Structure 1
Amino acid sequence: MDVYLPIANLSVNALVIVALGGGVGLLSGMFGVGGGFLTTPLLIVYGIPPTVAAASAASQVTGASVSGVVTHWRRGGVDVKMGGVLVAGGVAGSLAGAWLFRLLQAQGQLDTTIAVIYVLLLGSIGGLMATEALGTILRDRRGAPPRARKRRHHPLVAALPFRTRFYTSGLYISPLAPLLLGFATGVLTVMLGIGGGFVLVPAMIYLLGMATAAVVGTSLFQILFVTAAATLIHATTTKAVDIVLAGLLLLGSVVGAQLGVRLAGRLRPEWLRLLLAAMVLVVGTRILLGLVWQPAELYSVELA
């Protein structure tokens, strides 16, 4: 069943887009990531222009996050104080990201920049996740005891002033650390159409030293508000949000997020991380090939 996307200016199979949204929503509920880090590149691979893919994916991530946040909130897994600081930084980062987005768009370098950043991010994050997951699986097979990891924040975080307590997260740190972290994810949200969760979640664990029980819910809480702000910014400035595309993605992602939350507690986390890492690396490799392969047609003419 084909539908026409008015902003992207092409027809797509609606069932494929809904299924893509459902898969990304599944990841959102399972890992606490917005899923945009896979939505945007998969849309690009499918043939959606990168500018429209990035802008529309942000609105899809908002819908997927709503569903996940509600479930984690009921379980007491959301640190509202920490999330509020992350949101404040994220909104500021969204404004900065919108300025950078328009600058690159005016210079005609936006599509290439988005693709290059995705290759670097997906390659590095996917490689680290795969290495950690494989190490855990091999240690289990050898019968070796799991490595004990002390929960502590990074020394640079400890050096920041104005410490305060985040009770749900079990932290006594400066709010400047989550504020800067939120700012960085806000820039990524606008530029790439991602929720930033695949950067935010490991940063909350390894840099801030947050309690694992509060990481996923708090990450989705931040993603919810920042992606909503990013969608509003795109709709009013870049005009690149395709409401039909976003609606199809949302239809699948809301259902997928609920399933993901339920599956997260039933499957072994190391195998889930390995599967996610494999998907991330495959998508990153496909985008890299798109950058370096010589196209069949070296030139194209597009009528305005």
Structure 2
Amino acid sequence: MTDIGRLAPGAARDWCGTMPVHRRLLDSDPGYARAREEIETFTFGAAREEPPPLGLVTIPTIVHVVWSQAAQNIGDDQVATQMEALNRDFRKRNVDLVLLPSVWAPMAADADIEFVLADVTRTRTDVGSFDTDDSVKSARSGGVDPVSTDTHLNLWVCQLGGGLLGYAQFPGGPPETDGVVVTHTAFGSSGTATAPFDLGRTLTHEVGHWLNLRHIWGDDGDGCGGDDFVADTPNQAGPNYGRPTYPKVSCNNAPHGDMFVNYMDYTDDAAMVMFTLGQAARMAAALRGPRSGLLAAAATS
């Protein structure tokens, strides 16, 4: 399998395994391909219709800590810092918004999504490290099975191999593997969290995928023909790394250049500070459509 590690600032590597998982499912599961087509048709329709806001949506979240060494069995305080970071980022309450170039400030969105910790499970494993094959999501392969994926966000925190920081499953995939995986050294902002990925933004990025956001450059390598299906994110030539300086121009997107401050880029945690209004609308469409079980659960709770 391709090495997909986020290894160091400026390193030209993919640190997120979501797209390899997406491509694997497209190749192996015809039902997934059909589901993705239906989801995108629904999402584009919702964008045209501009439905009324959903209001605040609260997503119950289950954290599965899967560990083989004591340091990987992260403490409740580290879990708490990650939940706090996730809520700050999705509610536009992060103090580092001051880093946002003024041209993009009007586009920064409060996604009206919050996350509440429903449970933490802890499972010891004989597996030294996991990959993007979803083995951490199954007790049969040394991980732990998810719980109620239609009504809960399942998170797995473990040791990922090859420098990989995390991956998610887009809406429409198999329920038995639905959720987000993050390596323990990029989870939260205390304990084993390690700079420059120690502000909880790996999970912010991956939950964005789980709510149907694409990478901001459109996943076409370094070309200029990719599309993240969001109108208010500038086209850019591939991911950014480290902490770029504004403006970072590519794909004829001068004068303002790449929106490298976006959570769906590959910059360091300290450089990514925003979702756009268009991205928030796309996540709301996911909650109305393929993730609607979350709304139903909230209504009955």
Q: Which TM-score band applies after superposition, normalised by the shorter structure?
A: under 0.3
**Which structure has greater helix proportion?**
1
1 or 2 for the larger relative contact order (CA 8 Å, sep ≥6)?
1
Question: What is the TM-score when the length of structure 1 is the normalising length?
Answer: 0.26
Larger C-alpha radius of gyration, 1 or 2? 1
